[in-house]
Each structure stands twice: as C-alpha cells, then as structure tokens.
C-alpha cells in the first residue's frame, strides 16, 4: 500500500481492539468460532480465516445503518460480502429472527467510506481493500480486548486504536524518518469508529482519496504495488468568492474589496455549486469581501451542505455570531471557519466555548487566521499567546502583493520564524505564500518538507463568481473566464503533487 499524504483526524478507543498487521511473526491463534470476532484473542494468518473476517466485516458494514434506513438487508449484504471475499459469512450460521449471526464487536468496526454524496458504502473501495489483504500473505489480522493481557510481545504497543496498520520497520521518505510516525508504534494509521461520522471516497486513477466529513481529515492512498503518480482530475477543495463587498476597507486587502463592492448573484453561485457536486469536490471555502454579509449567505451554506459538500469560510469579524439565522446555519452546515482579525480573539473563544454546549457533537471550530505583514509584531504576538492559552488553531498567511496591498509595503515579519520554531506553541498551519517565502529556512530548522505545501492548483482552485473567472489561487493574475460547459477543463493547474 502506498500513502501519498495524511491529514490526521479523530480516532476512538474501544474495549475490543482489532488490528491489521504487516510482517508480524506471531503464529496463527484461533480461539473464536467462525464469523464470531469479539473479545476473544485471535491471530489470523491463512487466507480462509482472513476471508471469513473480511466477509464478516463487510456484512456488518453494509447492514449496520439499517436502523436509520440506509443499510442493506442481510440477504443483499451477504451476497456482496461473498462475492468480494469468496467467503460466505453466514455459512452454517442461524442468526435467528433479530440477529444476522455473523459478528465483529461493534466498537472494532472501522468507518468504511461512502460513495461521494450518497448514503451507501463504496463497493469499489471494499473490493480493493479486501483483495489487498487476501493477496498478501504477510498481512495478518489480530483481535482481542484491552481489559486483559494476552502476553503477545509482538503486539504490545500501548495503543488501542479501532483499526491500525503496522509495519516492523520505520517508513522513510527520501531517506529520512517521516515525522508523523513514532518509534514506539512504527507505522500506525488510526481509522475512526463512530456511527455519526461519514467518510467519503473518490477514485482518481490508481489512488483513493478518503475525506472525513466530521473532522476534515484526509488521506490519499493506493492499493497498487506501483501506482502511477497521483494527479487529481478535479479539485478536492475550491475557494469560492461570493462578494467583493466589505465594510472594513482595509488598506492591505489583496482582493481590493470595497464598501460598495459587487456581489455574486445567487443563480450564478448555485450553478457553480451544482458543478462542484458533479465534480465530487469535498470542500468549499467561501470568501470575499466579507462572505457573511452576502444576502443569501444562509441559503448558500444550506445548498452546499445539501449537495454533500462541506462548506467553510473566512470572515473579518465576529459580529455575525449575534445573528441567530447565520449562527444556526453555520452550526448546522459548516465544518469550520477562520477569523482573520487578531482583535477578535474574544469572539473566537466565546464561540468555541458556547458552541459545544448549544450543539450536538458536530461543532464547527473557529480558528485564527493571521495575515502577516498587516499587523504589528506586538499585535501578532498577543494573538498567538491568546491562541495558545485557549487552544485555538492558527493559520499563518504570507503577505500577498495584490490589490491595495501592492501599494502598501508589508510590516516586517521575519521574526515569526523564531516564534514558531522554538517549541512554545502547539500547532500551526501556513498557506503556500508563507511556505514559498520561508520554506528553505524552515527546513534548516528541522521542519519536514512533507509538512509544507507550496504548490497551488494541484488539488485546489479558485473561482471568482463575481468576476466569472477562475485559476489556481486567489492571489494570482493568471485567471481565465469560467467555461460553464467544462468548468474544470484546465485543471489541474499544477500537474503533479
């Protein structure tokens, strides 16, 4: 299996702990009955037992949502499980009237991906997943529970993930250890279990892209031994400009937004959103101007979510949080949003503290987006300290010399490198402009280049619905008119990630 990139999301522990292992030396151990994989200790090595586990996993995956009206009947799921693995999970089992018979402890069933925009699982992914495990004898399946010790020295890592893939060696990239993996657990990929979490999949060439709609986590992987380079056919993320109107009229606005700026028409926005759904775009980042000021902002959020996409947005203030309709629409539909004013820390803190009390588990997180070169060193440092104290995620934006910002020299911000590399802050994101400006220096300071992306247009693009133009990003003059007959005909703008 090849993993191109990982953007980590959530994983949940459970009392049972089932694992898929590569290169384990533990002999086969069978203490469970056929199609019954609960808390018993087992270690499956031969193809027949692995096929039985996988067929049971597929059967339960396809039927588990039946209570909500989305799952298959056991009869239909049984046919698919047998066709994908060659094993009948219900062979010789009488489950009775209310029980399908085959069983994997519910908290050890990973969330398998859905077809984009639908409520049924992606059979193509399940096929490749099962084939990969069955065709590689070195892959074994281990199960048990975390309430007692098995005495298995080969599998005694102090983790209880719901599913993990583990190798007996540290994976390397360009001869260096990848920073996402620790020495203790070698290679651990945690996959979430949760009835409320949706993982969506799309296939581009030899690669699968899996997107966690709850956390925003994303992974690109291929089951091929020698996959072709990953080149996205359509963007995974689209930056959508709704308006050029903004009351703040900042002198460093690279979009040159105006107090009386033009706003995109709703019909034009809807047409683009419909095209994004057809292209299987996962995320839509709404911007402007000030997007929350668009008269159809609530409706736009609802439309994007109804088409199966995840809407996010950037805003310059937090006053909209007091508008009950906007607040409810954001809570109900958004994955996250970013506030770009360092003086809005209080609003961010209030949102993150109250949102969890008002809403169910899916809470859009408010983050702080700092436009460097636009604020003084003192202002930025105060904002960073507050973000650290209240665990607010931070994204650093490099200075963009476009629009009004082209006529205003940036306030020097080279000092930020010392601030973010001395280990006092928890976590930072950065845009491609920042990485392009400081990438080489960051590498000298020990930051892996695998964690820095400075290539626009490989997996994302920018669409200005107001001006009816699009291109690789919102900070380039290399824009072209939207071709509504073939909106992504020129994508990708960067040929290879």
pLDDT on residue 23: 72
The answer to whether 134 touches 50, Cβ cutoff 8 Å, is: yes
> What single DSSP character describes residue 157?
-
Reported as a pLDDT band with limits 50, 70 and 90, residue 190 is: very low
pLDDT tens by residue, 228-267: 999 999 999 999 999 999 998 898 999 999 999 999 999 9
Helix, strand, coil abundance in the chain, percent, nearest 5? 30, 20, 50
Q: Which has more pLDDT, 308 or 359?
A: 308
- Cβ neighbours of residue 328 under 8 Å, at least 6 residues apart? none
Q: What is the pLDDT of residues 152-166, one digit of tens each?
A: 444 433 333 333 333
For residue 285, which phi and psi values (nearest 5 degrees)?
-100, 115
8 A C-beta contact, residue 379 and residue 415: no
In this prediction, residues 130-153 reach a mean pLDDT of 76
Tokens standing for residue 83: 């066709």
- The predicted pLDDT at position 159 comes to 33
Rounded to the nearest 10°, the torsion over CA 186, 191, 193, 194 is 140
354-369 confidence digits (pLDDT tens): 765 655 556 788 999 9
Instruction: Say if residue 158 is preceded by a cis peptide, omega within 30 of 0.
Output: no
Rank 62-71, 92-101, 400-409 by mean pLDDT and report only the highest. Answer: 400-409
- Look at residue 175 and tell me whether its pLDDT is greater than 50: no
Q: Is the pLDDT of residue 323 over 90?
A: yes
| pLDDT score recorded for residue 358 | 56
Query: What's the confidence (pLDDT) of residue 39?
Result: 83
- Which residue did the predictor score with more confidence, 428 or 93? 428
What CA–CA distance (Å, rounded) separates 451 from 437?
Answer: 15
Rg (CA), the chain: 24
> pTM (2 decimals)?
0.82
* pLDDT value at residue 425: 55
Tens-digit pLDDT profile for residues 12-54: 233 456 777 777 778 888 888 899 998 888 899 999 999 999 9
Tell me the C-alpha distance between 348 and 351, whole Å: 5
pLDDT band at 11 (very low <50, low <70, confident <90, very high): very low
* pLDDT band for position 6 (cuts 50, 70, 90): very low
* Choice between 161 and 353, residue whose per-residue pLDDT is larger: 353
Fold annotation for 237-481: Transcription Regulator spoIIAA (3.30.750)
| Burial zone of 421 (CB within 10 Å; 0-12 exposed, 13-18 middle, 19+ buried) | middle
Phi/psi of residue 55, each to 5°?
-65, -35
Where does residue 86 fall: left (phi above 0), alpha (psi -120 to 50 degrees), or beta otherwise? left
CA distance 487 to 276: 9
Instruction: Identify the CA nearest to 38 among candidates 11, 10, 14.
Output: 14
In 413-452, DSSP assigns E strands to 428-430
Q: pLDDT of 395-414, one tens digit each?
A: 999 999 999 999 999 999 99
Using pLDDT thresholds of 50, 70 and 90, give the confidence band for residue 454. Answer: low
d(CA 318, CA 263): 20
Q: What is the pLDDT of residues 275-287, one digit of tens each?
A: 999 999 999 999 9
Question: What is the pLDDT at residue 146?
Answer: 61
In this structure, the strands spanning 29-30 and 42-44 are antiparallel
Greater confidence, 34 or 168? 34
C-alpha distances (whole Å) from 340 to each of 257, 343, 454 are 15, 9, 21
Residue of 203, 273, 211, 274 whose CA lies nearest to 234: 203
Helix runs in 184-342, H state only: 266-278, 297-306, 324-333
Phi and psi at residue 321, to the nearest 5°: -65, -20
3-state secondary structure of 224: coil
- State the pairing for strand pair 469-471/480-481: antiparallel
Query: What is the percent of the chain where pLDDT is above 70?
Result: 77
Pairing type for strands 336-339 and 365-371 reads parallel
Burial class (CB in 10 A: 0-12, 13-18, 19+), 115: middle
Averaged over 374-378, what is the pLDDT? 95
Minimal CA–CA distance to 24: which of 50, 61, 6?
50
Which pLDDT belongs to residue 310? 92
What are 209's two structure tokens? 């892209």
Q: Which helix (H) or strand (E) holds 416?
A: helix 416-421
Task: Catalogue the long-range contacts made by 389-392 (C-beta closer than 8 Å, 24 or more residues apart).
Answer: 390/345, 390/348, 390/349, 390/352, 391/426, 392/345, 392/348, 392/349, 392/352, 392/366, 392/367, 392/368
Helix 123-134 × helix 74-85 angle, to 10°: 40
pLDDT at 495 over 70: no
Given strand 19-22, what is the order of strands in its sheet? 29-30, 42-44, 139-143, 19-22, 165-166
DSSP 287: E
Rounded Cα–Cα distance for residues 198 and 39 (Å)? 26
Q: CATH 3.30.750.210 occupies which residues in the chain? A: 237-481
What does the pLDDT average to over 481-494?
93
- Average pLDDT over the chain, rounded to an integer: 81
Residue 76 has pLDDT above 70, yes or no: yes
């Amino acid at each position: 299996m090849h993993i191109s990139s990982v953007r980590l999301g959530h994983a949940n522990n459970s009392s049972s702990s089932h694992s898929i292992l590569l290169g384990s030396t533990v002999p086969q151990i069978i203490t469970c009955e056929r199609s019954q994989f609960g808390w018993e200790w087992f270690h499956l090595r031969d193809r027949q037992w692995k096929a039985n586990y996988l067929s049971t996993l597929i059967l339960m995956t396809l039927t588990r949502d039946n209570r909500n009206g989305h799952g298959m009947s056991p009869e239909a799921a049984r046919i698919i499980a047998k066709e994908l693995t060659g094993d009948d999970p219900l062979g010789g089992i009488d489950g009775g009237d209310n029980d399908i018979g085959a069983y994997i402890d519910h908290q050890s069933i990973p969330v398998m991906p859905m077809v984009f925009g639908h409520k049924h699982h992606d059979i193509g992914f399940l096929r490749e997943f099962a084939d990969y495990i069955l065709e590689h004898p070195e892959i074994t399946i281990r199960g048990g529970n975390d309430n007692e010790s098995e005495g298995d020295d080969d599998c005694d890592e102090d983790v209880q993930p719901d599913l993990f893939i583990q190798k007996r060696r540290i994976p390397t990239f360009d001869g260096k250890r990848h920073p996402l993996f620790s020495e203790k657990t070698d290679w651990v990929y945690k996959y979430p279990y949760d009835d409320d979490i949706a993982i969506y999949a799309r296939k581009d060439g030899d690669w699968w892209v899996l997107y966690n709609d709850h956390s925003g986590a994303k992974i690109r992987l291929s089951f091929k031994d020698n996959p072709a380079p990953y080149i996205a056919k359509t963007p995974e993320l689209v930056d959508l400009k709704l308006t050029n109107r903004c009351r703040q009229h900042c002198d460093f606005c690279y979009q040159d937004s105006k107090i009386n700026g033009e706003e995109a028409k709703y019909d034009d926005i809807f047409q683009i959103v419909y095209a994004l759904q057809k292209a299987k775009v996962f995320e839509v980042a709404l911007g402007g101007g000030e997007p929350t000021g668009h008269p159809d902002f609530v409706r736009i959020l609802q439309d994007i979510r109804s088409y199966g996409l995840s809407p996010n947005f950037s805003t310059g203030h937090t006053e909209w949080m007091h508008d009950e309709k906007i607040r409810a629409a954001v809570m109900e539909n958004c994955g996250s949003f970013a506030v770009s004013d360092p003086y809005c820390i209080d609003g961010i803190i209030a949102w993150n503290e109250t949102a969890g009390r008002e809403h169910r588990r899916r809470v859009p997180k408010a983050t702080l987006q700092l436009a460097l070169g636009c604020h003084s060193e003192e202002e930025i440092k105060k904002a960073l300290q507050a973000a650290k104290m209240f665990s607010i995620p931070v994204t650093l934006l490099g200075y963009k010399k476009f629009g009004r910002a082209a006529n205003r020299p940036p306030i020097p911000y080279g000092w930020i490198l010392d601030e973010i590399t001395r280990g006092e802050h928890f976590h930072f994101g950065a845009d491609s402009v920042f990485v392009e400006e400081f990438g080489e220096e960051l590498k000298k300071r020990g930051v892996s280049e695998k964690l820095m992306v400075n290539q626009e247009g490989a997996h994302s693009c920018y669409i200005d619905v107001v001006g009816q133009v699009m291109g690789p990003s919102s900070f380039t003059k290399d824009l072209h008119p939207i071709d509504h007959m073939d909106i992504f005909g020129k994508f990708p703008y960067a040929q290879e990630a």
